Structure 1
């Protein structure tokens, strides 16, 4: 296979970038031990509690002590506690539209490990219904010395439904959706 000058230059740039980044290590988020949910209020004051029973994620450790989290939440599996009707509506085209947009995704900005150990603000890009927006989650200070293993890494963030074209049922639902994450790191498999 012939390599053009542009192809060679791109390959060299990619190799140099990898060399500068140094070793990268990824740790899976424990799907069984982690919980991802959200709440929203009806206009009548009732709080609806939702869960994403199917989710996947990875925390990447980069050179220089920085980390990055990538999280995907299955909209086809989302559930609203005690309500088959609201579960169906939440999966439907007026809310998450699971048939067209099967995943909610969050990719964080690189962050220092001190954020997980002390708490603070974690920015990144949230994608819902194909709409990408910068959002910020607040990471709580941990309850133990080994967050993610000995206790949950807890984060919360509030988004506006209208920002993601989920404004249907505005007469019945408030605009704010509060996401709540309780994350655990999967046991290291020795690789």
Structure 2
């Protein structure tokens, strides 16, 4: 029995070597302090029948790089990400129309940080990879969250509550990628 293309579900792994998440918070609302999470894993489920994809990204809060080691230790401390107690940051998207992955636009989902889950909205950036296959073209998104929404309320007099986020997600095929649900 032949499987119609519309019934096919593909699974793509997030390529941990090529994917990253940047964050920036303003000090005294002027100077940006930046960091990068360098360990991003998870998967994208592409449901061709529904013409939609869902993303699940796991970010290792212990793998962060910043301008100095003292900043890295500071953001991993209980004051911020509390990486010892909450080593994973999780983003799970709502279904994303496949056209939006090609054309850009808003995506919504749930971000779990420090054990607190909140809805977030990100702006998916239209891919700029002419002539490239989807395997070589990262999915990029950006948005912002409030530190206080996730229990990070220290240093309110010097640090902005708003944190800017930038995602660059590369994918690779998973074993057994095409299957009927």
Same fold (TM over 0.5): yes
Aligned-pair distance for 1:147? 6.9
Aligned-pair distance for 1:148? 4.4
- Across the two proteins, how many residue pairs are aligned to each other? 170
Matches within 5 A, 1:1-191: 23-43=8-28, 45-62=30-47, 63-80=49-66, 82-145=67-130, 148-187=134-173
* Bigger Cα displacement from structure 2, 117-126 vs 38-47: 38-47
Unaligned runs of 5+ in 1: 1-21
Measure, in 1, the Cα distance between the counterparts of 2:128 and 2:104. Answer: 11
Aligned-pair distance for 1:189? 6.0
Q: Which has the higher helix share?
A: 1
Larger radius of gyration: 1
Aligned-pair distance for 1:53? 1.2
TM-score (normalizing by structure 2): 0.86
RMSD: 2.0
- Say which SS state the counterpart of residue 174 (structure 1) adopts: strand
Measure, in 2, the Cα distance between the counterparts of 1:54 and 1:142. Answer: 22
- Say which SS state the counterpart of residue 62 (structure 2) adopts: helix
User: Which 4+ stretches in 1 moved above 3 angstroms?
Assistant: 145-148, 187-191
* Bigger Cα displacement from structure 2, 119-128 vs 38-47: 38-47
Q: Which has the higher strand share?
A: 2
- Say which SS state the counterpart of residue 132 (structure 1) adopts: strand
Aligned-pair distance for 1:61? 1.3
- Say which SS state the counterpart of residue 59 (structure 1) adopts: strand
Unaligned runs of 5+ in 2: 1-6
